[in-house]
Amino acid sequence: MKTNEAVEEFLTFLVTEKGDRLTTIKAYQIDLEEFTKFVSNKPAEGLNSADMNDFLFSLQSKGMKNATLIRKSMAIKGLYKFLKGEGIIKITLSDLQSPKKEKHLPDILTIEEINLLLRQPDLQTAKGILDLAMMEVTFSCGLRVSELIELRMDKINTKSGYLRVLGKGNKERIIPINKEALRVVSYYQEEVRSHIETKSMKLFLHENGREVSRQYFFIELKKYVKMANINKNVSPHTLRHCFATQLLENGAQLRLVKELLGHADIETTQIYTHLSKKKQQEEYEKSMRRN
């Protein structure tokens, strides 16, 4: 059996047995046809880990993006796993090394930019009060956008100054909420939330009682960033990044930041140490500028 015949059987398997989407199968087909050409359509029985590694290296040397290399490696791994299951090749799947996903440091905002951003909503409107409260809580508590929109009325304790958040894996964590955020949330509750007729226990709702969506918050935040003339790529997650970076820059221990963010692994939290160093470097360069 030649490699191209093995690819055809694999693609048929994806359709008939796994029920994969046609777009996925088409992408696999294109990637595997390219791989087949690279190995000169050799007998499928002779395919090995070196073939895959050499193929990916050749593409990498041509400047192919890492995300594309990862996609192609997944297609080849799928083919190899299928052929091993059929008894056509003998290979240790753990020997197949995929390119690692690149980690890019996200943009962070300075305190001045944060304050400028928070001054943009129109507090003469219910919508503006809602938007400010959502931005303030996201930044002050480091919430994921999914946690923000699911936050319940009974999970925020304005007297004690903390809120309970249900994060990933249905794990609840307690997060302090500062005085400024409490003031804004209390104002939202008095001026907007208390006048909404609804049975919903969610804290953040539109004036008509409709639930706030992720898309709404994303779009509104982008609008306020533009109004503030902040030329950075800002999303709701940026405010979470800013929360973590501010904590670290002011002496908080990495493990505390991990707990507040709800990370399962401290390695995930360590990216914020790089963000903090990046900001320190920028401040240093600014201070040492001679012209």
Q: What is the pLDDT of residues 205-242, one digit of tens each?
A: 999 999 999 999 999 999 999 999 999 999 999 999 89
CA distances in angstroms from 4 to 9, 39, 70, 89, listed in the order given: 9, 10, 21, 15
- Token code pair at residue 172: 């609840």
pTM: 0.61
* Phi, psi of 107, deg, nearest 5: -65, 145
Residues with active-site annotation? 144, 168, 237, 240, 263, 272
Beta-ladder partners of 91: none
Please say whether the beta carbons of 140 and 246 come within 8 A: no
Closest CA relative to residue 33, chosen from 89, 72, 87: 72
Report CA 48 to chain centroid distance, whole Å: 34
The pLDDT assigned to 251 comes to 84
- Cα 157 to Cα 115: distance, rounded to the nearest angstrom: 24
What single letter denotes the amino acid at residue 94?
S
The pLDDT, as a whole number, for residue 142 is 93
Task: Tell me how many degrees the CA angle 141-146-152 measures, rounded to the nearest 5.
Answer: 70
DSSP structure class, residue 119: T
Cβ-count burial 119-142 (b if 16+ within 10 Å, e if not): ebbeeeebebbbbbbbbbbbbbbb
Residue-level pLDDT at 21: 78
Residues 64, 36: Cα–Cα separation, whole Å: 18
pLDDT for 16 = 85
43 DSSP β-pair partners: 2
Specify whether the CB–CB gap between 166 and 152 falls below 8 A: no
Domains along the chain? Answer: 3-95 (1.10.150.130), 111-288 (1.10.443.10)
The sign one gets for the Cα dihedral 197, 162, 184, 143 is: negative
User: What pLDDT does 277 receive?
Assistant: 59
Residue 147 tokens read as 């946690």
CB atoms within 10 A of CB 100: 9
How much is the mean pLDDT over the chain?
Answer: 87
Taking 70 as the pLDDT cut, the residues of the chain under it are 93, 95, 98-106, 272, 274-291
* CA angle (218 as vertex; 217, 220 as ends), nearest 5: 65
CA 286 to chain centre: 30
